[in-house]
Amino acid sequence: MPPPLTSPNVPYTRDVGRTVLDNGLTVLTRELRFSPTVTCMVWYGVGSRHEAAGETGCSHFLEHMLFKGTRRYAKGDIDRITMRNGGSNNAFTSHDFTAYYFNFASDRWETALDIEADRMVNTVFDPVEFAAEKKVVIEELKAGLDQPWGALMQELHATAFRTHPYRNPVIGWQADVEAATPDRIEAYYRRHYHPANATLVLVGDFRTAGALARVRERFGAIDSRAPAGDTVAAEPEQTAERRFRLAWRSDVPRLAVAYRAPGIGHPDSYALQVLAVVLAEGKASRLYQRLVERDRTVTFVTAEYGESRDATLFHVRAEGRGDASRDAIEAGIDEEIDRIAGGSIGHGALDRAQRQIEARFVFSMERAMDQALLFGQIETLDRLEYVDTYLERIRAVDAAELARAAGEYLSRANRTVGWLVDGAQETPD
Amino acid sequence: MKGPGRFHAERVVLSNGLTAILAENRALPSVSMNLAVLSGAIADSEEFAGTAIMTSRLLDEGTTHRTSLQIADAIESVGGSIDCDGSHDRTTIHLGVLGKDIDLGLDLVSDIVRNPAFSPERIEHERERVLSEIRSAQDRPQVVAGWEFNELVYRGHPLHRPAHGYPDSIRRIRRANIEGFHADRFVPGNAVVSVVGDFEHDDMRRRLEGAFGPWPAGDAASVQTPTPARQRDIRRRFLPVSSEQAHVYFGHLGIRRRDPDFYALQVLDTILGAGAGLTARIPRALRDEQGLAYSTFASITGSAGVEPGKFIAYIGTAPDNVPKAVAGFVDEVERIIDEPVTAPELADAQAYLTGSFVFGFESNAQIARFLINAEVFGLGFDYVETYPRYIEAVTPDAVRRAAAAHLTTRAYSLVVAGPEGAVDIDTL
């Protein structure tokens, strides 16, 4: 049984083992007895953040290629083995990492180790398969751009960041994806896929000592490599508000505001997480009460701020309702943020937000997969210990800190404001 | 509870006739509860379509005892959540709280299910929101194409319309419609509650009796729904949208969840269009081999419910590829009707279904949802043991017979949403 999560004295990761093999592979293990299943994840510390100009989308394309065959497994084998063993698998790529997972019953989970160890170094880049998969990736990219929020968020990131690769879509710019070659993706793979740039996470019904022996059998012989250099361009400071309007085939106005915000572990990041909840989580939140209930200018409003390796963005999004004016929607948001910066959040609202975060943490731990996701992500972005102090740091945020963070980060000069507007009615910027 | 699929559930009937299903799980300090009223949008009249969904949205928007904000503040202050949602065949209130806050949760759910205020001001507010959300959904061609597909497949049956109704019918809804739906349908004899998590069985039973016992007993009159007829013709519709991709829905009427062929068809789905990764024939042929799409699948059991679902094959692809994709659907459907599946295909599908279904029973919320379905569809709480037997009993011949009985390429509905002029629908 996990320790009580609300007790500050028991580190949540007390039962998580952390082992580093000689070749640099980090292995996190967490035994869970109540579930006869095992989740096996591999996290690589590479994502769109690591892509140079002209090669955007490489990390994501590579993720697709890891299902297309290795020297040992033919194309289709990985899915077929997963199926025959009654499991599930998938993968995802973000700005900061690429992750692969398998869920299997606990009597056959080691199959996942065989596959992961092999495709860490033996993936093949057959030109015919590569060309077919490129078409799939292009369709995925177009499906994203057919979504109004997909188009708006892509433009928002490209505007809010000038030089940092967070400005690029994870899936890449279409021209770059079209120009990708098997050689280039393979070189990228050789540079970033090796034990020292990976974290293997095992959560579920296994014995740690035996599991580690199985891990060493599969991964121990993989050559160690020096980490690739980190050449990420620094983002210049933002000094003035940026704005854009993007034409779309819709008369529903959609707003996305991006405030520049710090990365994981920054002392102010905890206050900003509380702030996101105070602003827009649940019907009692400030922006819901103001925009949905009082002004009735939007159908929904959200505030999002998550863990990220480098300085990132705090997003506020809303969808216009009826014939509400864009000015009225923005004014509602600005006034509520100004009030918070002026110290309007009392103990009740702060405590409610902190409890919401605590409960979300508990509820997000129910499945073995959920725990593997959390541990893998945090270890890849920072250090696992972040998890242990997380709730304590959230609980320590006080009203004054919240007001200061709102004033400092959610300011006009620190933001980019993007509107998706009706292309038939107005000319975009 | 020992693990996924190994929970021990017990069914009790409270003094007022409300069925409750309880399953302890002490592994986590939380409780998930579903209260399902077994009526939804199918019960709406055509004229006032949208009433059931509007009712579900108004439940937590104020009671005779609490305002909308008081309800939200109470549950959010303990980090809990209450979500009300409606579908075609039921209306569900989901509660998630830490175990220590269960009394507050029960009190709130009991209040919103029994005493919603349906104030005129809240009704107008929700009406306007629903209308705006429908307008917003028009921007997603995949959604619009799905609505149109239902219009073609379910002619003459309430499932032809979106559960939330149409803008015109939503504008017609009056408070009396909403109150009427609530009075007629929200009665203990027409509801099931499931509770899973950190509690002791007898204690929870007492708490449920305390919270819901005072809800006056009653049964709902049965709703007469026409049996939808399988189409005998080919129905095609093209929807012009200025999108990059074309969205294609191909298929026809499907089966009820209680259909005896359900398990054979689940095996069929796994082989044809919905297996692990890209193992099924349609994703393998259209995505993995031809590179036509990122998203493509086919299924007949996925939508099986109290009323018949539908067989759907879907693809999102470049407009030029639509004829090739539709031909691919037709080929694969004909092949699974005409040729028996191979023994290895069958064995793989069975291994996949019997092995992976435990992953649907890991969290308290998943189990709470399952227990409602177990009650509605008579699956039995030992379904975890019986399900593998149903799947393992499926033979190649059973798949072929089920395919021949429930799939066809001679009478179907086809909807394509894509760029104007890109596709000549009548040639497909």
Give the span between the Cα atoms of A151 and A50, in whole angstroms. 22
Among the listed ranges B99-108, B219-228, B374-383, which one has the minimum average pLDDT value? B219-228
Give pLDDT, residue A425: 82
- Kindly state whether residues A214 and A248 are assigned to the same domain: no
Amino acid of residue B113? V
Q: For chain B, which domains are there? A: 9-212 (3.30.830.10), 235-427 (3.30.830.10)
Rg of chain B over Cα atoms, rounded to whole angstroms, equals 23
A158 shares its domain with A295: no
pLDDT value of position B7: 82
- A296 — contact with chain B (CB < 8 Å)? yes
Rounded to the nearest angstrom, the gap between the alpha carbon of residue A25 and the centroid of all alpha carbons in its chain is: 22
Residue A115 counted as domain residue: yes
Q: What is the pLDDT of residues A192-248, one digit of tens each?
A: 999 999 999 999 999 999 999 999 999 999 999 888 777 788 899 999 999 999 999
Q: Are residue A270 and residue A184 in the same domain, yes or no?
A: no
For residues A105 and A37, is the Cβ–Cβ distance under 8 A? yes
User: End of a domain among A219, A250, A274?
Assistant: A219
Of the partner residues A4, A249, A322, the one whose CB lies closest to the CB of residue B132? A322
Q: Is A10 on the interface with B (CB under 8 A)?
A: no
Q: What is the DSSP string of A13-69?
A: GGGEEEEE-TTS-EEEEEE-TT-SEEEEEEEES-SGGGPPTT-TTHHHHHHHHTTS-
Which of A180, A214, A153, A201 lies closest to A58 in space, CA to CA? Answer: A180
Closest chain A residue to the Cα of B241, Cα to Cα: A249
Asked if A162 and A274 sit in the same domain, the reply is no
This model of the complex carries an ipTM of: 0.91
pLDDT at B253: 98
Does residue A76 share a domain with residue A205? yes
Question: d(Cα A309, Cα A265) in Å, to the nearest integer?
Answer: 9
Question: Pick from A219, A253, A288: which residue ends a domain?
Answer: A219
- Residue closest to A150 by CA, chosen among B174, B245, B219, B192: B245
pLDDT recorded at residue B390: 97
- For residue A235, being part of any structural domain is answered with no
Residue range(s) defining the domain that contains residue A296: 242-422
B116 pLDDT above the threshold of 60: yes
Note whether B27 contacts A: Cβ–Cβ < 8 A.
Answer: yes
**A5 occurs within a structural domain:** no
Give the gap in angstroms from C-alpha A193 to the nearest C-alpha of chain B.
23
- Asked whether residue A198 is assigned to any structural domain, the reply reads yes
* Model pLDDT, residue B130: 95
Residues A180 and A51 in one domain: yes
pLDDT tens for A268-308 read: 999 999 999 999 999 999 999 999 999 999 999 999 999 99
Asked if A139 and A256 sit in the same domain, the reply is: no
Sorting pLDDT into bands at 50, 70 and 90, what band is A3?
A: very low
From A347's Cα to the closest Cα of chain B, the distance in A is 11
Q: How confident is the model at residue A429 (pLDDT cuts 50, 70, 90)?
A: low
Inform me whether the pLDDT recorded for A404 exceeds 80.
yes
Say which of A146, A351, A366 has its CB closest to residue B363. A366
Which residues have C-beta within 8 Å of that of residue B344, sequence separation ≥ 6? none
- Over residues B300-341, the pLDDT tens digits come to 999 999 999 999 999 999 999 999 999 999 999 999 999 999
Interface of B with A in 97-116 (CB under 8 A): 97-98
The pLDDT assigned to B107 comes to 98
- Cβ pair B46, B36 in contact under 8 A: no
Q: Which of residues 295-314 of B touch A (CB under 8 A)?
A: 295
Q: Higher model confidence: residue B413 or residue A232?
A: B413
Over residues A146-150, mean pLDDT: 93
Domain-located, residue A229: no
Disruptive mutation site among B24, B33, B57, B77 for chain A (greatest number of A CBs within 10 Å): B77
In a domain, A84, yes or no: yes
Cβ-based contacts of A85 with chain B (< 8 Å): 351, 355
Contact B294, A137 (CB under 8 A): yes
Which residues of chain B have a CB within 8 Å of the CB of A76?
278-279, 284, 288
**By the 8 A CB rule, do B52 and B269 touch?**
no
B 54-73 near A (Cβ less than 8 A): 60, 68-69, 71-73
Tell whether A342 is covered by a domain: yes
Give mean pLDDT, residues B255-270.
98
A188 lies in the same domain as A281: no
pLDDT at B105 over 80: yes
- The conformational region for residue B119 under phi > 0 = left, psi -120 to 50 = alpha, else beta, is beta
The span from the CA of A369 to the CA of A116, in Å, is 17
pTM of the model: 0.94
What is residue B362's predicted lDDT score, i.e. its pLDDT?
A: 85
Nearest-CB residue to B356 (from A86, A132, A293): A86
DSSP states along A233-247? PPPPPP-S-EEEEEE
Q: Are residues A200 and A274 in the same domain?
A: no
Helix-strand-coil percent breakdown of chain B, rounded to 5? 45, 20, 35
With an 8 Å Cβ cutoff, are B355 and A79 in contact? Answer: no
Best A12, A38, A79 member to test B by mutation, with max B CBs in 10 Å, is A79
Helix axes A269-280, A399-409, angle to 10 degrees: 90
Angle at B210 between CA B207 and CA B214, to 5 degrees: 150
Average pLDDT score over chain A: 93
Q: How many domains, chain A?
A: 2
Residues A128 and A264 occupy one common structural domain? no
Q: Which residue has the tokens 């007895």?
A: A33
Q: Is the pLDDT of residue B397 over 50?
A: yes
Closest partner residue to A83 (CB to CB) among B4, B141, B276 is B276
Band (A6; pLDDT cuts 50, 70, 90): very low
User: Is A257 a residue whose pLDDT tops 90?
Assistant: yes
**Which percentage of chain B shows pLDDT scores above 70?**
99
The model's confidence at residue A2, banded by pLDDT at 50, 70 and 90, is very low
Q: What is the CATH number of the domain that holds A132?
A: 3.30.830.10
Residue B56: the pLDDT is 98
How high is the pLDDT of residue A367? Answer: 87
With beta carbons under 8 A apart, name residues in chain B contacting A367. Answer: 362-363
pLDDT of residue A362: 83
A83 close contact with B: CB closer than 8 A: yes
- Measured distance between the N- and C-terminal CA atoms of chain B, rounded to whole angstroms: 53
Judge if A59 and A204 occupy the same domain. Answer: yes
Instruction: Return the percentage of chain B with pLDDT > 90, whole number.
Output: 89
Out of A105, A283, A322, closest to residue B72 by CB: A283
- Is residue B420 over pLDDT 70? yes
Give the DSSP H/E element, type plus range, for residue B263. helix B262-272
Assigned domain for A324 exists: yes
Place of tokens 């696992």: A384
Q: Which residues of B touch A2 (CB under 8 A)?
A: 27-28
Percent of chain A clearing pLDDT 70 (strictly above)? 97
Same domain, A188 and A276: no
The pLDDT, as a whole number, for residue B5 is: 52
CB contact under 8 A, A86 and B30: no
Average pLDDT for residues B198-216, to the nearest whole number? Answer: 96
B318 to A283: CB separation less than 8 angstroms, yes or no: no
* Beta-carbon-side half-sphere exposure of residue A283 (alpha carbons within 13 Å): 19
CB pairs under 8 A between A and B: 201
Instruction: Mean pLDDT check: name the lowest of A28-37, A102-111, A396-405, B33-42.
Output: A28-37
pLDDT surpassing 70 at residue B374 = yes
pLDDT of residue A323: 86
Helix (H, G, I), strand (E, B) or coil at A415: strand
